[in-house]
């Protein structure tokens, strides 16, 4: 009988013991005679006692990290990993019961594969699904680096890699306080041996729409930096400057959608100042798209005109940025 496969699971955390408890429980739930997990919790929060209690309850290793950022917490855990594979899970997300084993089957069938990413199910804060699993399609040519540079951000909780990637591609960039996971997966994808498993692997908690302006604004410079870091050396993947720009704006589209939808939602709630704030930042992120939606009959235009006293207050509209 074959020995159980050992997978090292990297879990960064910061003062969220209740969420962490759910995350670690979802990992342990997948164990069986064929599969064992070495759970490594990198903790750069301030409440080490509460986190330690949860970590111990799930038989995980608690690593205290003094450097801020998820990248530093992940790196501390990666350095301590001894398993055959590296898997990941953020402390506020949970694995589905379908994760891990389909990835391992791909590794067994294709020895050249270095990493596998799976599907993600976005949920509300109570882990109720709010969308179908993504991605629902991948590039037929298998160019996952180009797919990511075209605006796909694989959620790290759905990715598993061979332990050898640690030496081949290095650790997370601790200077990136956002998108360090995208940066790391772009490096791995650049090796040309990444595959996709069309299996929903992780429930990915979403914050309430329009509720985290500061976080979104803090992420934008890092997204731009990571895109440029990987897109410039890979410039031959684009056939024209126009195509390159399309990928650049696709990488930033999520930020635009956040602010455009926030503007419409805030108008429906009577928050004129919030509408103007959101419209201004939508213009900064994606000026041409925002201008087009402000000069044509769209929910964004209606929200903005109301906020400056030139129209009636509009009702809430979903997907305002896509109209």
* pLDDT tens, residue by residue, 84-109: 999 999 999 999 999 999 999 999 99
Extract the tokens encoding 123. 């949920």
Question: Is this prediction's pTM over 0.85?
Answer: yes
pLDDT single digits (tens) 61-75: 999 999 999 999 999
Query: Residue 312: is its pLDDT beyond 90?
Result: no
- The pLDDT-based confidence of 120 (bands split at 50, 70, 90) is very high
- The structural domains of the chain, with segments of one domain joined by +, span 5-205, 213-322
Over 80: is that where the pLDDT of 2 sits?
A: no
Do the Cβ atoms of 175 and 169 come closer than 8 Å? no
**Residue 82 confidence (pLDDT):** 97
Q: Which CATH superfamily is domain 5-205 in?
A: Spore Coat Polysaccharide Biosynthesis Protein SpsA; Chain A (3.90.550.10)
Q: Is the pLDDT of residue 323 over 70?
A: no
**Residues 200-252 pLDDT 10s:** 999 999 988 778 899 999 999 999 999 999 999 999 999 999 999 999 999 99
Q: State the pLDDT at residue 139.
A: 84
Q: Between residues 319 and 143, which one has the greater pLDDT?
A: 143
Is the per-residue pLDDT at 318 higher than 90? no
What are the CA-CA distances from residue 22 to residues 58, 61, 106, 117, 132 (Å)? 10, 16, 27, 22, 22
pLDDT at 47: 85
């Amino acid at each position: 009988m074959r020995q159980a496969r050992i997978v090292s699971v990297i879990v960064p955390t910061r003062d969220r013991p209740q969420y962490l408890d759910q995350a670690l429980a979802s990992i342990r739930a997948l164990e069986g005679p064929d599969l064992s997990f070495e759970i490594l919790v990198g903790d750069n929060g301030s409440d080490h006692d509460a986190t330690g209690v949860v970590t111990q309850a799930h038989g995980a290793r608690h690593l205290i990290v003094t450097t801020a950022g998820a990248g530093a917490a992940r790196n501390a855990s990666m350095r301590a990993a001894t398993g055959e594979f590296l898997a990941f899970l953020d402390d506020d997300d949970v694995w589905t019961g379908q994760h891990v084993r389909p990835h391992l089957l791909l590794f067994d069938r294709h020895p050249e594969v270095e990493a596998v990413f799976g599907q993600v199910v976005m949920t509300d804060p109570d882990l109720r699904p709010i969308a179908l699993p993504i991605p629902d399609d991948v590039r037929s040519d298998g160019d996952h680096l180009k797919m990511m540079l075209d605006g796909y951000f694989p959620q790290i909780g759905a990715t598993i890699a061979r332990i050898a990637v640690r030496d081949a591609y290095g650790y997370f960039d601790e200077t990136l306080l956002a998108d360090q996971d995208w940066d790391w997966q772009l490096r791995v994808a650049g090796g040309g041996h990444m595959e996709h498993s069309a299996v929903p692997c992780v429930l990915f908690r979403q914050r309430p729409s329009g509720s985290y302006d500061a976080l979104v604004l803090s992420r934008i410079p890092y997204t731009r930096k990571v895109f440029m870091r990987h897109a410039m050396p890979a410039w031959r993947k684009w056939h024209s400057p126009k195509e390159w720009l399309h990928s650049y704006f696709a990488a930033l589209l999520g930020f635009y959608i956040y602010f455009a939808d926030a503007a419409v939602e805030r108008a429906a709630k009577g928050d004129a100042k919030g509408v103007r704030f959101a419209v201004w930042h939508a213009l900064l992120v994606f000026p041409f798209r925002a201008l087009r939606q402000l000069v044509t009959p769209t929910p964004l235009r209606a929200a903005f005109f109301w906020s400056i006293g030139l129209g009636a207050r509009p009702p809430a509209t979903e997907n305002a940025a896509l109209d």
